[in-house]
């Protein structure tokens, strides 16, 4: 029997609720596919600050490094907003990405047919949208040095440094090509090479790497044009690869295009480690009320099955069960519309697990 070690970091806000539901789905995967997951919990974010005085304790980092994958809920909340920047919960998230060298962030943005009306775009424009934004995650303005606020001649000056090495670009671009090769074989590289020298290097590396993936079609777009085209023709995109800051913005735009952040999973991949988390935040205003949407975390666990464990059949089953549950009209409050059946966090997961069983029986 195959055994996979999963570090479970539930975090803050609704994180403990949605992660707990994703673990229930993974336990059903154990039952159906004859695999075993060994779950071990660690502290991160505000919870870790309260208990250990550190948003990413050393023992949590050690746990993640010896695990096959990390499943994360969410970090942060108003309780910790007044802490110094270096002590806030979000610093734990930035540090774990850097320490595990998670350089490629994959954010799928798919329009689920039963939720097509949730998109602000016309149904005929958004129908069929299914893209993945691959965002470089450990470089760019978020990590470049020098950085900070300084005083020069009596005037405050803010500095952030946009910096990439050739290899930092190459490895995330190569990862994006590999993802595109398994999908519809189209890669859109996004930069600002008409203005930024960093982007010129980015485009050069993409052109060099495309020779290794001749089956993948490549297009280059400036970031401002890409933002416009994602609204005008979202169905034309398959895989988008871009830098940390541009990817941060475009992946959120993609979330709006498809209609609900509560439905969006993500994967942060490196060569040795991987972390999976929903795109939505900790939503402290609804924490503990049992109404949070667990689907983004469940789909993040599904990505873990596919990318870290090679369990594509299990991943497909989870995604089909989510889609069938939506087709049946079950909705948490964030995606509810008139005529549907409103349920809470646990009840939504119950329906998904039931559909996993039904779909398995149909195949059998």
Taking the chain (364 residues) in runs of 10, the rounded mean pLDDT of each run is: 93 97 98 97 96 96 98 95 87 91 95 91 95 95 92 96 97 97 97 98 98 98 98 97 96 89 90 95 93 96 96 96 96 90 97 96 70
Tokens of 80: 């910790």
pLDDT value at residue 260? 74
pLDDT value at residue 363? 64
pLDDT value at residue 169? 98
Q: How far apart are CA 281 and CA 66, in angstroms?
A: 26
pLDDT value at residue 2? 84
User: Do 268 and 105 form a contact (C-beta atoms < 8 A)?
Assistant: yes
Give all strands (DSSP E) within 23-165, no chain letters: 36-41, 69-74, 104-110, 130-136, 148-152, 155-159
- Angstrom distances, CA of residue 126 to CA of 230, 271, 330, 341, 364: 10, 34, 22, 24, 35
Q: How far apart are CA 218 and CA 283, in angstroms?
A: 38
What's the burial of 206, exposed, middle or buried (CB within 10 Å: 0-12/13-18/19+)? buried
pLDDT value at residue 165? 97
Q: Which CATH number fits domain 120-258: 3.40.109.10, 3.40.718.10, 1.10.540.10, 3.20.20.10?
A: 3.40.718.10
Instruction: Go through 100-118 and write b for each residue having 16 or more CB atoms within 10 A of its CB, e for each that does not.
Output: bebbbbbbbbbbbebbbeb
Q: Where in the chain is the domain with CATH 3.40.718.10?
A: 1-102+264-364, 120-258
Superfamily of domain 1-102+264-364: Isopropylmalate Dehydrogenase (3.40.718.10)
Give the number of other CB atoms < 10 A from CB of residue 56.
25
DSSP letter, residue 113:
G
Q: How many CA atoms lie within 13 A of 266 on its CB side?
A: 28
Instruction: Go through 331-346 and write b for each residue having 16 or more CB atoms within 10 A of its CB, e for each that does not.
Output: bbebbbeeeeeebbbe
Q: How far apart are CA 302 and CA 226, in angstroms?
A: 28
Phi, psi angle pair for 217, to nearest 5°:
-75, 140
pLDDT value at residue 315? 97
Tokens of 15: 């994180």
Q: How far apart are CA 107 and CA 264, in angstroms?
A: 7
pLDDT value at residue 338? 87
User: Do 118 and 335 form a contact (C-beta atoms < 8 A)?
Assistant: yes
User: Do 287 and 18 form a contact (C-beta atoms < 8 A)?
Assistant: no
Pairing between strand 104-110 and 130-136?
antiparallel
Inter-helix orientation angle 345-363/295-307, to 10°: 40
Q: How far apart are CA 229 and CA 237, in angstroms?
A: 9
Q: How far apart are CA 215 and CA 237, in angstroms?
A: 16
Any residues with CB less than 8 A from the CB of 321 and at least 6 apart, and which? 352, 353, 355, 356, 359
Q: How far apart are CA 14 and CA 289, in angstroms?
A: 9
Active site residues: 142, 192, 224, 248, 252
């Amino acid at each position: 029997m195959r055994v996979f070690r999963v570090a479970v970091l539930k975090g803050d806000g609704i994180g403990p609720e949605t992660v707990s539901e994703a673990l229930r789905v993974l336990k059903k995967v154990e039952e159906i596919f004859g695999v075993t997951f060994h779950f071990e919990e660690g502290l991160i974010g505000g919870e870790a600050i309260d208990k250990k005085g550190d948003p990413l304790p050393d023992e949590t980092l050690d746990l993640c490094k010896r695990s096959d994958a990390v499943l994360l809920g969410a970090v942060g909340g108003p309780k910790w907003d007044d802490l110094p920047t270096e002590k806030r919960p979000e610093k734990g998230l930035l540090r774990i990405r850097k320490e595990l060298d998670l350089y490629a962030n994959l954010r799928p943005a798919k329009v689920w047919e039963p939720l097509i009306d949730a998109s602000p775009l016309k149904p005929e424009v958004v129908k069929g949208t299914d893209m993945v934004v691959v965002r470089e995650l450990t470089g760019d303005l978020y990590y470049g040095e020098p950085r900070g606020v300084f005083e020069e001649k009596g005037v405050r000056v803010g500095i952030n440094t946009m910096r990439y090495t050739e290899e930092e670009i190459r490895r995330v671009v190569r990862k994006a090509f590999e993802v595109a090769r398994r999908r519809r074989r189209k890669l859109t590289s996004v930069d600002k090479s008409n203005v930024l020298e960093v982007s010129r290097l980015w485009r050069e590396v993409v052109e060099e790497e495309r020779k290794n993936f001749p089956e993948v079609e490549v297009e280059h777009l400036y970031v401002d044009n890409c933002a416009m085209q994602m609204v005008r023709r979202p169905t034309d995109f398959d895989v988008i690869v871009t830098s940390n800051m541009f990817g941060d913005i475009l992946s959120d735009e993609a979330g709006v295009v498809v209609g609900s952040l509560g439905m969006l999973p993500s994967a942060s991949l490196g060569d040795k480690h991987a972390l999976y988390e929903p795109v939505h935040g900790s939503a402290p205003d609804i924490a503990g009320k049992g109404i949070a949407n667990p689907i983004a975390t469940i789909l993040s666990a599904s990505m873990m099955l596919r990318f870290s464990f090679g369990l594509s059949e299990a991943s497909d089953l989870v995604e089909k069960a989510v889609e069938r549950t939506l087709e049946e009209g079950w909705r948490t409050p964030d995606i509810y519309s008139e005529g549907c059946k409103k349920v809470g966090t646990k009840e939504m997961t119950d329906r998904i697990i039931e559909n996993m069983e039904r779909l398995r029986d149909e195949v059998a």
